[in-house]
């Protein structure tokens, strides 16, 4: 089953979107990239694995930090990725880290018709 990796972001007003994305699809594991102290997000019955990173690091260091935290966790050859929340810097670091791990990515989104690959 495909693992989901997503940026959590700091805007709690849009966390409901991410909650729906997580709950309305079967995922192997759910990894949420979050800044330090941003772990108050709750996604109902589904358990998420929070990977806290220092979002103030320069891009290359942030990429390496994410890569190290995801290394050996995703056992498939690809991961579902959602970058609807978070910053462009976090998105670049996440995508780069996944590609450096040799993983393919499938961009996914929650739509009125359910979870869809983009």
The CATH number for 64's domain is 3.40.50.10770
pLDDT at 14: 84
pLDDT tens string 26-71: 999 999 999 876 667 887 778 899 999 999 999 999 999 999 999 9
DSSP 8-class letter at 12: G
What is the rounded average pLDDT for all residues in the chain? 93
Helix axes 59-70, 88-100, angle to 10 degrees: 50
Q: Which helix (H) or strand (E) holds 4?
A: strand 4-7
pLDDT at 38: 61
> Among candidates 114, 33, 111, 118, which has minimal Cα distance to 80?
118
pLDDT at 1: 92
> Among candidates 55, 23, 24, which has minimal Cα distance to 38?
55
Instruction: Give pTM, 2 decimals.
Output: 0.93
Please state the rounded mean pLDDT for residues 6-23. Answer: 89
The count of structural domains within the chain is 1
> Among candidates 58, 70, 56, 118, which has minimal Cα distance to 98?
70
User: Measured between alpha carbons, how far is residue 106 from residues 39, 56, 94 in Å?
Assistant: 25, 27, 13
- Domain, as residue range, for 45: 4-117
pLDDT at 42: 80
pLDDT bracket for residue 84 (50, 70, 90) = very high
pLDDT at 47: 86
> Among candidates 2, 1, 3, 5, which has minimal Cα distance to 83?
5
């Amino acid at each position: 089953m495909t693992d989901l990796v997503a940026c959590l972001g700091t805007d709690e007003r849009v966390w409901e979107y991410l909650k729906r994305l997580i709950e309305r699809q079967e995922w192997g594991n759910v990894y949420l990239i979050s800044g330090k102290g941003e772990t108050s997000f709750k996604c109902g019955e589904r358990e998420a694995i929070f990977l806290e990173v220092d979002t103030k690091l320069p891009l290359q260091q942030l990429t390496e930090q994410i890569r190290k935290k995801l290394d050996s966790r995703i056992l498939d050859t690809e991961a579902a990725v959602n970058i609807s929340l978070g910053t462009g810097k976090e998105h670049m670091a996440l995508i780069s880290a996944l590609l450096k791990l040799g993983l393919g990515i499938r961009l996914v989104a929650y739509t009125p018709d359910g979870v869809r690959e983009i």
